[in-house]
Amino acid sequence: MDQNLNIQQKRAVEAEQKPLLIVAGAGTGKTKTLTSRLSFLINSGIPPEKIVAITFTNKASKEMEHRILAKNPGLNPKPFIGTFHSFGARVLREEAGLYGRSKDFFIFDSADSFALIKKIIKEIGDKDIKPSLVSNFISSGKNTFDRVEPPQGLDEDLAYTALEEYENRLRAHNAFDFDDLLEKPVSAMKNNPEVLKKYQERFRHVLVDEYQDVNDMQYELIRFLAGKKGAVSAVGDAAQTIYTWRGSNIKIFLNFEKDWADATIIPLEENYRSSANIIAAASAVLAGNNYLTGRFEKKLYTKNPAGDKVTLAELKGEQEEACWIAKKIAPPVKAGESSAILYRTNAQSRAIEQELIRAGLEYKIFGGLRFYERKEIKDILAGLRLRVNSKDEISKDRLQKNILKKRVKTYEEFIAQENTPQAPKELISDFMRVTGYLEILDKSEGNLEDRKENIAELVRFAEEFADLSSFLEQVSLLQTTDNFGNKKNNPSQIILSTIHLAKGLEFDNVFIAGVKEGLIPHGRTYYNEEEIEEERRLLYVAMTRAKKRLFISFYGIPSRFLGALPAEVTEYETPNNNRGFLSFDDEERYIEYD
């Protein structure tokens, strides 16, 4: 038993072997508690091989396994500790015959699956079918128990023809796709009582990390494994549910007591990560929610010092905001403290990267590509360079590979005839229109909305230049100097990340950029109350990544969530603004002048 557990953590670790939900707020030691719970079960006499501990990421499972082996040296056999998908793959190695595969099957990743779908569509012979629509249709069908209707723009007969052929090809390849790793084990247990009995007898207890992120298919897998005995220990925080767009169902978390008879719910509310001022600010933002009430209402507290006040800055635009962040972030970086800049959309990184490069500050994009490395940006820049130099074979080769030779030829003929000087913004528009580039992206790439936002950001930057040569020169200079951030484990390297990817991480200093209407909450969520509340939770997650200092910045109309920040824990900055910081209720800030 870990001697450093607080009273609530100890209660959770030593709870009876019946359904247990540990409601673990941000920074309250959920991993330590869940790991200690697993050790406690082993030390209570449950054979390790009878325990399943399921996480969402390989990183989390490796950390849990490391801690378990440190607490229990020489443990053999070991419990299963891994992701939902790795557990599903293990089940399928035994049950593959139910689906016409052998146990040495291959697993198709998303790229393999997409390539197979494109090939099937080509053979079907309908050039108007968008592979992304078919891919989403197939994936949706494998992640729900209800019949999925094809999305708008996809004929129903063609959709089901493609689905049937896709499944036939997977079988012929002796392969499962990534979605199968959940759907097929659940289906096997649901439709084969002997299979269900085998796994319920094999495992006596199920532990689940990040329970708030569970989707319907994952929930069914947990329910089947735990069986009527309900031997499940789950840990999570409904306040950090930020993935409903990819299937997580917050109602599963909130309905724990309804789903599991005689359930115990134990809250963890002491935060060990952040200063008291940060906790007060984050809790105030979350308090305005409409869902997490009653037993799931967050009451985080900390014994940490008050620390610095939360800085809230109002800037005049994204470039000034990026410049302000670069100046503010330099001192803590030079002091060797960890720092991160978080944002709602990938497109926001462009201005921030530019200012960090100008300031000579190293940075790393966490879980993603730097702005000018993104495919759609490189394609458009290749089109612009070809316009300047028709002998640029590198750019031409790239375009022929990515948008087909026929379209490239049409584009070359267009630029040969068009000699009127135009601003870079118009030239980007020409490239998009003549090549039908958005149509190409829609048919061949995922995350179309994110890619469109990146293109829109490139256009915004292009608006600052009157001629194409100056624009391309500036981009080239940025790319040339953008090569210093490759050192591993560099404490002075700044992390740039979307908020979604930063969940689970922590930093001494956190900067949250663009906390404005249209970004947080995102414009796409305006007409859905549940999505608005998820945006609130997203901001809460971003704020609770900070340990020592938290900086929040915006331009334009401030996010509706910022009005909840307590004045006593907030300090305001308005660089280059003589009017000072206006109240969120002041009508002047919402007046636009022609």
DSSP letters of 298-351?
---B--S---SPEEEEEESSHHHHHHHHHHHHHHHHHTT--EEEEESSGGGHHH
Kindly report the three-state secondary structure assignment for every residue of 38-102: HHHHHHCCCCHHHEEEEECCHHHHHHHHHHHHHHCCCCCCCCEEEEHHHHHHHHHHHHHHHHCCC
- Report residue 424 as tokens: 């870079």
- Report residue 255 as tokens: 């309905």
pLDDT tens, residue by residue, 311-346: 999 999 999 999 999 999 988 877 888 999 999 999
CA dist 308 and 319 (Å) reads 26
Residue 295 has what pLDDT? Answer: 61
Is residue 361 within 8 A of residue 494, CB to CB? The reply is yes
CA dist 239 and 223 (Å) reads 23
pLDDT tens, residue by residue, 3-23: 689 999 999 999 988 999 999
What is residue 191's three-state secondary structure?
Answer: helix
Residue 477 has what pLDDT? Answer: 66
Is residue 553 within 8 A of residue 511, CB to CB? The reply is yes
Kindly report the three-state secondary structure assignment for every residue of 518-576: EECCEHHHCCCHHHHHHHHHHHHHHHCCEEEEEEEEEECCECHHHHHCCHHHEEEECCC
Residue 147 has what pLDDT? Answer: 78
CA distances from 466 to 33, 98, 267, 379, 570 (A): 59, 64, 58, 21, 41
Is the pTM for the entire model greater than 0.85?
A: no
Dihedral sign, CA of 236, 241, 247, 249? positive
For residue 77, say if its preceding peptide bond is cis, omega within 30 degrees of 0.
Answer: yes
Residue 401 has what pLDDT? Answer: 87
CA distances from 392 to 382, 399, 405 (A): 9, 11, 15
590, pLDDT greater than 80? no
CB atoms within 10 A of CB 71: 17
Residue 183 has what pLDDT? Answer: 94
283, pLDDT greater than 70? yes
Angle at 26 between CA 23 and CA 30, to 5 degrees: 55
Any idea which residues carry the catalytic annotation?
A: 30-31, 209-210, 240, 545
- Report residue 90 as tokens: 């293990």
Is residue 100 within 8 A of residue 93, CB to CB? The reply is no
Q: Report the DSSP beta bridge partners of residue 551.
A: 311, 511
CA dihedral 561, 566, 567, 572 (to 10 degrees): -40
Residue 209 has what pLDDT? Answer: 93
173, pLDDT greater than 50? yes
Q: What 8-state DSSP symbol labels residue 371? A: G
Among 96, 113, 246, 101, CA closest to 185: 96
Q: What are phi and psi of 266, to 5 degrees?
A: -125, 120
Residue 487 has what pLDDT? Answer: 45
Residue 578 has what pLDDT? Answer: 64
Mean pLDDT calculated for residue range 551-578: 91
Residue 182 has what pLDDT? Answer: 93
pLDDT band at 593 (very low <50, low <70, confident <90, very high): very low
What is residue 128's three-state secondary structure?
Answer: coil
413, pLDDT greater than 50? yes
